[in-house]
Chain A
Amino acid sequence: MKLIFTTIALTFLLVQSYQAQSEEYRLTQGPIMKVSLRAMFTGFIFVDENMMIGTAYEKGKVILEKYNKDLSLELKASVKNNLKIEKQNAKYFSPLTLNDKVYLLYEITDKKRT
């Protein structure tokens, strides 16, 4: 089964990031962005401090996001709906991470063949 990734251009409002610092800690605030995962919010997974990816079922698609170090969005990719990945027929497993890569694993049930 083939999967196609489509990369969508970054179109979000970017506001300058800034840092607040005390003797004990540093707080880096990212830019304010439009909420990108509009439909069902399923949470985030984080690979390491330089990368993070969100997943959601949005109009039957799986949305993946990658962020820069300054916490602005680098790219947004969606998996086309040829797998019919929907909330109803896809079970999401814990992601597997290895170095700076992530494995996203889904169990997809074809309900028509039940």
Chain B
Amino acid sequence: MATDYTVLAESNHKKKFSLSLYASLYASAPFSIYVSKDRERFVVLTDAELSKKANKTFDVNVFDFNMTKKWSKNIEIPYPEGKFSTNSFDVDLNNNVYIIGSYQETSSTKDVDYVLLRLSEKNDVAEELKIPKILEGNKISRFNFYVNKNSNDLQVSGFYYADEGKSKENGFYYLSIDNKTFSIKKTKFFPAKVILSESAEAMEDDDNSKRKERQQKQEAKIFAQNYELRNVIYKAEGGIMLVYERYWYYTTLKTTTDSQGRTSTSTEYHYHYDDVITINLNQEGEMIWARKIPKSQYSKNDGGSYSSIAMMPGKDKMYMFFNDHIRNVGVVNSSSVYGSFPQKKNATTANVSMMKDGTHTRETLVSLEESNLRALPKFSHQIGDNKMLLYFRFMGKQRFMIFEVL
């Protein structure tokens, strides 16, 4: 397959970006660009498939954003071509590149091993750390990782499911990997029932009935299936905040009959974006608090465009924006809320401000009557330390807004 590499819009900055060189060297090899999570460096990774080595190799090029090349080298991955796929990346303070990926020996999904690779200038072959499939009796899945800027250690989080004998327990895990020894230093498991009960206690809900307890148990059983990680916030003092959102969708078949008696069947897609749970961990991986922000967003056949949240970690607070019912404004202590997509007069874009101790407020940012448009939280972006650009769209019209903390 022939491939061309083209820079469509190029800066006139004096330091030229030399990617075209690599493209011409490996004209048929695909490449990828990965920006480090602190956005201070980026990696250009060329899949050097023309290499004669038995194992897969990458041409690794690490740059900072002054376009200064930190290092560049052809590095062998300890797996044959086609057996390894990359999952996520980060770069540490010493410009070493980390890749979490999966290695599959056969076509059977049971044969998948997850590995963390370290690609450094001093080694010709990537260092490998196999991540056990089962840790302390728990099967782990999903791998979100980042380099802790204080310790330079790596921190990995995701979901776990208890292996047999633990009655469907699940939740999220946290691993700390020592940068010097390149080995697992600490493992923590947070069962869903603990997270949910911690966040429910904070709500001080009046409704403490057995029904609520049953609901919580039911929710705990499906935590790992229903909750998606939306954001990881790296705290300046170390530690992280994980923001999960309850999300699921399903399809139904709809059969209609027209005036001629002809029937037709179509598929309908139903999207649910519900409660948000924020979990605050300290640098040692201990849970400081967990808080739930109740919401109920249901839509169909729209891809869930107007659902979910946009968020901005500010200096002292964390801000979340989402479409909401005006009657939910002010709600912080109740687990039951109105649906988020009511008629125009009751629709609003809510702003939840969360303090460092987990206390939060929920207020109207702008009502639908005022803005005429609905927010598309998924297409909103943080554009500065204390600035968020929000995108609104409805019925063929669009509008941008900037939310700026003073």
Contact = CB atoms under 8 A, between A and B. Distances in A.
A71 B380 CA distance: 14
Interface of B: 1-13, 17, 19, 30-35, 42, 65, 67, 353, 365-366, 371-373, 379, 381, 383-384, 387, 389, 391, 393, 396-406
Interface in A11-56: 20-21, 23-36, 41, 43-44, 46, 48-49, 52
Centre residue among A30, A44, A64 by max chain B CB count within 10 A: A30
A105 interface: yes
A31 to B, nearest CB: 7
B384 A49 contact: yes
A35 B400 contact: no
B86 to A, nearest CB: 14
A8 interface: no
Contacts of A28: 401-402, 404
Interface centre among A25, A102, A108 (most CB of B within 10 A): A25
A1 interface: yes
B402 A106 contact: no
Contacts of B19: 105
Contacts of B399: 29-33, 71
A111 to B, nearest CB: 8
23 contacts: A3-B8, A5-B9, A24-B353, A24-B405, A25-B403, A30-B399, A30-B401, A31-B399, A32-B373, A32-B397, A33-B399, A35-B396, A35-B398, A48-B383, A71-B400, A79-B8, A96-B35, A105-B6, A107-B3, A107-B30, A108-B4, A109-B2, A114-B2
Contacts of B2: 109-110, 113-114
| Interface size of A as a range | 35 or more
A27 B365 contact: yes
Secondary structure type dominating chain B contacts:
strand
Contact of A44 (B379, B397, B404): B379
B42 A62 contact: no
B406 A108 contact: no
Given A46-B381, A96-B33, A103-B11, 17 more contacts: A3-B6, A26-B402, A26-B406, A27-B403, A30-B402, A32-B398, A34-B396, A41-B379, A44-B391, A48-B384, A49-B387, A49-B402, A71-B399, A96-B17, A98-B11, A104-B7, A108-B6
A64 B399 CA distance: 17
- The 9 A-B pairs at the shortest CB distance, nearest first, are namely A101-B11, A113-B2, A30-B400, A71-B400, A28-B402, A104-B8, A26-B404, A35-B398, A29-B401
B9 A110 contact: no
Contacts of B402: 26-28, 30, 49, 71
Contacts of B405: 24-25
